[in-house]
Structure 1
């Protein structure tokens, strides 16, 4: 029995688990799950060793790590952390037989075909084309995006840095927010708007546009006050955030031809899902002019299983590692 160490490494936390490589029929469920604060470790190797120690197991020979950040030519730079490393050197340092690193939203995308009933919830219901590409995206510490394309042998992940595409305002208020944010960022990206810090930036920009003082609030503060109707400015910020999210989801659906559906993940959407029907999320998702009919045929679902990236990491390694396919 081959055991795979899987991890979902973000700017805030790293979630680890162990998966039996033969458990694909059971959805690659991870056991021995432990979450560790990323900032407490100087290197990823230190973090992995601490997980193995806390789990009370020997270092596995196989691992797949889902990481927030770009991966180029075997070199990884972790977004929002001062971690850079070579995949091959990390594998050798940990004395593993096989270690791979994939983008966190690539892992989430690869998990989609393996998700069980109850792992997702519908946000916009229509029939998906089972033979078409699937788009996965969502806000958290940053904004991740990946595409899952059907091929003859299964699925192929197309990782992207779609969160760094330019933000395109739709309303006069959003134009004003963009102008405020350009004072701080020469290039205002989707991630500058659709992330935890992006929600705070929207709140502060709205305050500046209205000529009022903004409080020093965390993303959770803005979200909680807005959703519970405790403060009008926070609620407008959350409403704006959700509307922009709808626009971006529709843009990705169009540009990717994601007739297999759009899946929203990340740390923020599940926390505001019950509030989305009170916003312009769906209105803006469908507001694509002459291509409205095209987007109307693309369903939107939310990934509710917060361990989905671990499932995707395990599935990816099994599908790409010959030693695990016997």
Structure 2
């Protein structure tokens, strides 16, 4: 079946490729499938298989979000073996249009389309919906993006805000910095605020406190913290939330995100209640004379699993992308 009114959208990470179809002028994805990247030689093979499974011979255009930098016409995935040329892929499928964007840019573009029931408010007031929004989230790395309002819609900010310096605020964090600097040299906030970063923080705190660190993965640390079965894991996750609050507050001040802060990614939605009960809010609001501004800024956790696909669909409609 040749379906000209359909477009292909995708959100490709290091492990999985999420692919879906959208109808012309719409953003809601249908026929969503999650394909393991390791089972396909490259993007074109995965797309061909997906379209066959969906019963569609051809679509007219596509937008793919990728977990890697997008420079020029070549894409080299950071955490899997896929490599492709944007123009060669467009020609191969005879697409009228093919957009490729960074996955967190797509995440930002998708946020305005997330349904209210997929947003959990953590703190803050009503803010100002007409102002910029901050989109930030720990996952494999720390993604930071934003949305700047224009007359009709939004322009996404393409940033590397996860790589700003980690700024300790007390003696314990100075010790954490010294330990991580010995391992990595320069220490960015991403060295703490991501999956591997949670493990880094856990091991650093264990060294500072002179105790064992038996847990060897972020998943195990999170599980132990939520189950209250490991005191160090629980203290580490609370510290992780506090640092996230501070970093999110700094970024919100930087871009003037009175429109709200949206916490995305694969980590925070797993412990929303824990986050709300942690020092996240106190750290987010602790900005001296800017405290009233921070108290008025709403902060949400985004629990929509396909925000990136919504953003890829929005990119096909958005002439600013």
Report the TM-score, using the length of structure 1 for normalisation: 0.91
Equivalent residue number for residue 232 of structure 2: 233
Cα deviation, residue 84, structure 1: 4.2
Equivalent residue number for residue 20 of structure 2: 17
Equivalent residue number for residue 172 of structure 2: 173
Q: Tell me, what secondary structure is at the counterpart of 1:71?
A: coil
Cα deviation, residue 71, structure 1: 1.6
Equivalent residue number for residue 254 of structure 2: 255
Cα deviation, residue 163, structure 1: 1.1
Matches within 5 A, 1:3-82: 3-23=6-26, 28-82=27-81
Equivalent residue number for residue 324 of structure 1: none
Residue 59 to residue 185, structure 1, CA distance change in 2 (3 Å): farther
Report the TM-score, using the length of structure 2 for normalisation: 0.92
Q: Distance in 2 between matches of 1:45 and 1:170?
A: 48
CA RMSD of aligned residues (A): 1.8
Residue 295 to residue 229, structure 1, CA distance change in 2 (3 Å): same
Q: Distance in 2 between matches of 1:211 and 1:101?
A: 47
Cα deviation, residue 216, structure 1: 4.7
- Deviation readout 1:100-142 (Å, 9 max, x if unpaired): 0111121121122222221211111311212211110101111
- Deviation readout 1:214-273 (Å, 9 max, x if unpaired): 225221110000111100111111111111110111011001111111111001111010
- For structure 2, the residue ranges without an aligned partner over 5 or more in a row are none
Number of residue-to-residue matches in the alignment: 317
Matches within 5 A, 1:70-219: 70-219=69-218
Contact 2:22 2:313 in 1 (8 A): yes
Cα deviation, residue 95, structure 1: 2.8
- Deviation readout 1:34-61 (Å, 9 max, x if unpaired): 1122333342223323322333322422
Residue 207 to residue 106, structure 1, CA distance change in 2 (3 Å): same
Identify which range, 250-259 or 204-213, moves more after superposition: 204-213
Is 1:284 paired with 2:258? no
Q: Tell me, what secondary structure is at the counterpart of 1:166?
A: coil
Contact 2:137 2:144 in 1 (8 A): yes
Identify which range, 115-124 or 275-284, moves more after superposition: 115-124
Q: Tell me, what secondary structure is at the counterpart of 1:181?
A: helix
- For structure 1, the residue ranges without an aligned partner over 5 or more in a row are 322-326
Q: Distance in 1 between matches of 2:75 and 2:282?
A: 38
Query: Which portions of structure 1, spanning 4 or more consecutive aligned residues, are displaced by more than 6 angstroms?
Result: none
Cα deviation, residue 82, structure 1: 4.2
Residue 48 to residue 167, structure 1, CA distance change in 2 (3 Å): farther
Residue 291 to residue 77, structure 1, CA distance change in 2 (3 Å): farther
Contact 1:21 1:314 in 2 (8 A): no
Q: Tell me, what secondary structure is at the counterpart of 2:64?
A: strand
Is 1:315 paired with 2:317? no
